Structure 1
Amino acid sequence: MALVAPVTIQKISGDGLKETPDLLAVEEPLEIRLGFGPVDDRQQRSVAVTMRTPGHDEELAMGFLFTEGIIQRPSDIISCRHCVQDSAKEGNVLRVELHPDVVVDWARLNRNTFTSSSCGLCGKTTIDAVMALTPGPVSSDFLLEPTVLHALPERVRTAQRAFAYTGGIHAAALFNAAGTVLLVREDIGRHNALDKLIGAAFWQNGLPLSQSGIFLSGRIGVELVQKSWMAGVPLLAAVGAPSSLAVQMAQEAGMTLIGFVRDERFNVYSKAERINVHSLLATSL
């Protein structure tokens, strides 16, 4: 399925107008269904519908299920594939077959989906629920030079294939301490891009991501900190601003949270010791 869709637009510049072709980021629904239960009593249930940009759907599903605490390891999954029975939804329904031994806590899944800013939960309740799913605060000796952060926006933008055509799609990128971009995933939704990235690492047995950082192309909401914490990420950085609850959760998680990474500057909101500021201090003296 295509990441972009062609359209014809009326482009107005100054007093001029011309008809010209353009490209838009594709947005379509993806329904994630679970197959679960013992071998002699398999059941199916829809767990989520998200608006996403098609591509890497399996990684999106695995990242979502992992960060919601439904699966813990690749062996929990028997198969993950698109359903083809309904031609009207072709490519937009994904069924994940869980191992018969996997017990799904449906009540916990319902409680821990924090994708809405109006979910009505207070900050402490949200953080306590996420802490119950994680092994505790992130422990890592990950250390980053400021120059690495300064270079990340351009390096990630260069790797954003769909953004180059549309200008309307988010990215989540995995990078190491040297600033090498290891993996990039794109989606019209910020949380979907991150789910795809974490899902790819999950399937490659790469979790926890204790020696990597994640860079996001937009703002940092609490759900993005939650997902990164579940993946064991020590440092989360973004072009945009974090919310107050995102900062609060990052502090509880022991994660370094960095915002406004652009134009040779950035703000550190928690765990600043993972940024090597000694050279900056020496320069300012």
Structure 2
Amino acid sequence: MRRVQGAAATEASDVLAAEEPLEIRVGFGPAGQREHRTLSITMRTPGHDFELAAGFLFTEGIIRSRQEVQGLIYCPDVAKEEERENVVRAELAPSALPDLPRLERHFYTSSSCGVCGKTSIEAVHAAACPVLPPAGPLVAASVIHQLPERQRQAQELFEQTGGLHAAALFSPAGELLLLREDVGRHNALDKVIGAALLQELLPLHNTVLLVSGRASFELVQKAAVAGIPVLAAVGAPSSLAVSAATNFGMTLCGFVRQNRYNVYSHPWRIVQADDV
């Protein structure tokens, strides 16, 4: 590449964030009558692909528990060499009855697409988003201020490329529990939720989620499905994200940076340190 600074130009190398397509397939049905179907193709950063697939299936309502997933594999029967390790198949338990027609997502979604990949906003509202319990956790206001720096310190790939989103799960005291990076913000969150699902940690009722960038409706919806009561974003929330968080009983914070933030819904969970 050519690096330009002022009037000077020099030849240099650079580290770029990887972006490749991932096809997510499912196998389902009783023994001897198994069916296989492609659900989605998303542009993602390779790594934690099984978590991404599991999180996608859970947040889209295809599965409802870890027990419904028998296994996750890279499909060996791909047509082209470049598809190897870019096609993941989730084998569901014979007892799992996925409501596949309800998944109204276009066949291809971009890494940043999110809700625009839905054929209608009604399809998202129809997803099973439980109202969060009207209880804790209570989070000290000072902890919210600390989350962006703690997230950045753990972002190894971002430090190398500067081109990745992150989703980080914290305890109410600010302890980092899980962090995943991806070129797509919704993929990063699906990886976090998928990791929690595979470790049988759901629902995540005693956690705080921080996402880089803005807080979109789809991120609120995914967090609600996983039972996350507090969602903080470095950027701005959308109006639909605020409305959804209010309806789900979720505390939503935006503009969490430079020692400030706004609380848009259910502010009672954010308290002074003496009240925690």
* Counterpart residue number, 1:26: 18
Deviates more, 1:14-23 or 1:112-121: 112-121
Alignment match of 1:141 (pick from 136, 143, 147)? 136
* Counterpart residue number, 2:96: 102
The number of equivalent residue pairs is 268
* Counterpart residue number, 1:176: 171
Pair 1:214-2:209 in alignment: yes
Q: CA deviation at 1:136?
A: 2.8
Q: CA deviation at 1:134?
A: 3.1
Partners of 1:159 and 1:242 in 2: how far apart?
24
* Counterpart residue number, 2:42: 50
Question: If the length of structure 2 is used for normalisation, what is the TM-score?
Answer: 0.92
Change (3 A) 1:138 1:29: farther
Residues 180-228 of structure 1 show CA distances to partners (whole Å, capped at 9, x for unaligned) of 1111000000000000000000111111110001000110110100100
- For 2:173, what is the secondary structure of its paired residue? coil
Residues 118-137 of structure 1 show CA distances to partners (whole Å, capped at 9, x for unaligned) of 85745xx466413xx13333
Contact 1:140/1:210 (<8 A) preserved: no
* Counterpart residue number, 1:90: 84
The gaps in structure 2 that reach 5 residues or longer are: none
- The one-letter code matched in structure 2 to 1:30 is L
Q: CA deviation at 1:105?
A: 0.9
Pair 1:115-2:107 in alignment: no
* Counterpart residue number, 2:239: 244
- For 1:178, what is the secondary structure of its paired residue? coil
Partners of 1:119 and 1:70 in 2: how far apart?
15
* Counterpart residue number, 2:145: 150
- For 1:228, what is the secondary structure of its paired residue? helix
Partners of 1:14 and 1:250 in 2: how far apart?
45
- The one-letter code matched in structure 2 to 1:129 is A
Deviates more, 1:70-79 or 1:227-236: 70-79
Alignment match of 1:268 (pick from 263, 268, 273)? 263
Contact 2:132/2:248 (<8 A) preserved: yes
Partners of 1:48 and 1:174 in 2: how far apart?
25
Change (3 A) 1:139 1:66: farther
Residues 93-142 of structure 1 show CA distances to partners (whole Å, capped at 9, x for unaligned) of 001100011112122222799933385745xx466413xx1333344311
Partners of 2:182 and 2:19 in 1: how far apart?
9
Report the identity percentage. 50
The gaps in structure 1 that reach 5 residues or longer are: 1-8, 281-285
Residues 42-62 of structure 1 show CA distances to partners (whole Å, capped at 9, x for unaligned) of 110000110000000000000
Partners of 2:209 and 2:139 in 1: how far apart?
12
Contact 2:141/2:273 (<8 A) preserved: no
Partners of 2:86 and 2:172 in 1: how far apart?
37
Q: CA deviation at 1:89?
A: 0.4
Q: CA deviation at 1:178?
A: 1.0
Alignment match of 1:35 (pick from 10, 27, 39)? 27
- For 1:23, what is the secondary structure of its paired residue? coil
